[in-house]
Amino acid sequence: MKRLDLKTLLTGALAGLTAALLVLGASVQPSFFSALLYTASALPILLVGLGWGNVAAIVAVVTAAALGAVFISPSFALIMTLVTLLPAGWLSHLANLARPASELGGPDDLLAWYPLSDILLHLCGLVTFAVIVIGVIIGYGPEITDPIVDLLITSLKQQQPEFMPDPAATAQTKSLILLMLPALQGGMWVTMLFAAYYFAVRIVAASGRGLRPREDIPSSLRMNRNSIFIFLAGLAACFFGGVPALIGATVIGTFGAGFMLSGFASLHFRTRGKDWRLPALILCYLASMLMLLPALLILVVGLSDTRKAIALTPTKDADAPKQPDTKI
């Protein structure tokens, strides 16, 4: 943790103010642009955490949460903290962790940084926790999703008077929507928060304040092997129904997004040097956004390529001349 001083505190407070303003701007009129603003509110926290350390990140999180509680409501501040502020602060903390590579069996003059695969694992876990807590706060359940399906059916009947929905199909649709919403919400937030982390790392590295070395994302972004068991546990929970199914769907959405990110990174890595790389990647991205089967294939690629890549950098005294051994 960096030294506590006035400059660090002011930098953290300014970042918290910026994050709060972005969230307040996003809450004015819900839209796709507001979702981008909400995600962008994680950037100031990530920037100060990566560049100025844990103290600045903590000050930024507390400042943003306090402003949200004062100008909106305490519950809004809690949701904002769970969804963006806390994950951003924790990711910046993990990204700055390093230890001697000798502790892992490596050379004595190198530092081993916290693996990117474990950072992604923590992100998936934090978003899962946030979605579950928010679901408890708002009382998420059929009471919220069933009216949405009924409204869609009513609208369809008005457009097509001859349409007669099957009660069994309607019930299945309601059950599917109930599980899909937390999965989609969790997956979207994992993707967008990792994108914010990616840009924050690049900005801090360009400014010269970054401690963590710039990693090659296509070769290093993979999910932790233990994530497979969590993903399978979430899949199994969906068959129990009720609250376990909702939790399982959330896990599938968040960790599935993590595996898709690693799958795309693997595709980037495997297509390096190919003449057809750019159009192939564009086609993969578009197809995975528009169709389910390509997205599942990317997910399978991520599931099949799990490993832990550790970034290494020289220690500060690596270039210093070694003292001769005077012992006889």
Residues 77-89, mean pLDDT to the nearest whole number: 91
The structural domain count of the chain equals: 1
What value does the mean pLDDT of the chain take? 85
Report residue 36's pLDDT band, with 50, 70 and 90 as the boundaries: confident
Q: Is residue 110 part of a domain?
A: yes
Q: Is residue 76 part of a domain?
A: no
Of the ranges 158-167, 174-183, 302-311, which is most confident? Answer: 174-183
Q: How far apart are CA 130 and CA 185, in angstroms?
A: 11
Q: Is residue 245 part of a domain?
A: yes
Q: Is residue 248 part of a domain?
A: yes
pLDDT of residue 39: 82
Bridge partners, residue 110, by sequence: 314
**Residue pair 305/260 in contact by the 8 Å Cβ criterion:** no
Q: Is residue 203 part of a domain?
A: yes
Q: Is residue 68 part of a domain?
A: no
Residues 74-102, mean pLDDT to the nearest whole number: 89
Give the percent of the chain with pLDDT over 70: 93
Q: How confident is the model over 120-168, as pLDDT tens digits?
A: 999 999 999 999 999 998 888 888 888 888 888 888 777 777 777 777 8
**Residue pair 256/187 in contact by the 8 Å Cβ criterion:** yes
pLDDT of residue 259: 94
Asked whether residue 325 carries a pLDDT value surpassing 80, the answer given is: no
The whole-angstrom distance between residue 32's C-alpha and the CA centroid of its chain comes to: 18
pLDDT of residue 3: 54
Q: How confident is the model over 242-254, as pLDDT tens digits?
A: 889 999 999 999 9
**Residue pair 170/153 in contact by the 8 Å Cβ criterion:** yes
**Nearest CA-CA partner of 310 in 111, 125, 103, 122:** 111
Give the percent of the chain with pLDDT over 90: 39
Q: How far apart are CA 50 and CA 60, in angstroms?
A: 12
Report residue 4's pLDDT band, with 50, 70 and 90 as the boundaries: low
Q: What is the domain extent for residue 197?
A: 97-314
Q: Is residue 208 part of a domain?
A: yes
Q: Is residue 85 part of a domain?
A: no
pTM for this model (two decimals): 0.87
Tokens of 309: 């890549």
**Residue pair 130/82 in contact by the 8 Å Cβ criterion:** yes
